[in-house]
Amino acid sequence: MSKNTEPKIKYLTQKEALSLFNSIENSNSCHSIRDLAIFRLAYRCGLRASEISLLKLQDYNMLKGEIYCKRLKGSSNNTLRLDRKTKIVLDKYINENNITSDSQVIFTSQKNNPISRQTLDYLTKKYCSLARIEDKSKHHFHVLKHTTAVHLAECDMDIKELQWWLGHKSVSNTEIYFQFTTKQQDKMYEKLDGKNEMV
């Protein structure tokens, strides 16, 4: 009987993540800018749903394009620099919604409460369906955190760098993301082919 080769964690491929962002950007929702800012920020920083809801304007240095990530579940807080696309959409959302008070929560619901985990899971299901991501087990907001970690590992970030980025106190929590994905296997064989060290 063959062993189950399914990965222990669920994550979006690069193609699926791009489709997800495109589905948000091209949606007719009146909240598309907010939603795109949420999903891009969660992906860039590897944030949980509850961590997104805690973000306040005082955590964001718009001038430097850096955000202070308050990590939960015993993880370590850190400050991360945003990529250009995420900064543009986040700045646009903040300016359009006149968020000016440092203590103001950045992402709110229609009732002006901090956006909930349930709402974020609902939005994930909605946009994953629009993006035609068939695996329903990927239609959960927490999958974005796993996606961030796997994509960074595929970009040759080493385990200590990834541990710091995700705020893990123990490196054992980070090791799971260095399973051999197809992309990581391809890079491994490229290293061998390039050096020709094996006879």
Element (H, E) at 61: strand 60-61
Residue 5 domain-assigned? no
Residue 8 domain-assigned? no
Half-sphere exposure of 97 (CA within 13 A, CB side): 23
Element (H, E) at 53: helix 49-54
**CATH, residue 98:** 1.10.443.10
Q: What pLDDT, on the 0 to 100 scale, is given for residue 187?
A: 73
Residue 9 domain-assigned? no
Mean pLDDT of 43-55: 96
Identify the burial level of 23 via C-beta atoms within 10 angstroms of its C-beta, where 0-12 means exposed, 13-18 middle and 19 or more buried: buried
C-alpha distances out from residue 24 to 94, 141, 157, 178, Å = 18, 14, 28, 29
Identify the burial level of 193 via C-beta atoms within 10 angstroms of its C-beta, where 0-12 means exposed, 13-18 middle and 19 or more buried: exposed
State yes or no: pLDDT of 127 exceeds 80. yes
Given pLDDT bands bounded at 50, 70 and 90, which one contains residue 197? low
Q: What pLDDT, on the 0 to 100 scale, is given for residue 3?
A: 46
Identify the burial level of 170 via C-beta atoms within 10 angstroms of its C-beta, where 0-12 means exposed, 13-18 middle and 19 or more buried: exposed
Residue 82 domain-assigned? yes
On whether the CB atoms of residues 67 and 55 are closer than 8 A, the answer is yes
Total count of domains within the chain: 1
Q: What pLDDT, on the 0 to 100 scale, is given for residue 9?
A: 85
**Residue-wise pLDDT tens digits, 62-120:** 999 999 999 998 899 999 999 999 999 999 999 999 999 999 999 998 888 999 999 99
Buried/exposed code over 178-189 (b: 16+ C-beta within 10 A; e: otherwise): beebeeeeeeee
Bridge partners for 68 per DSSP: 79
> Domain limits at 100?
14-195
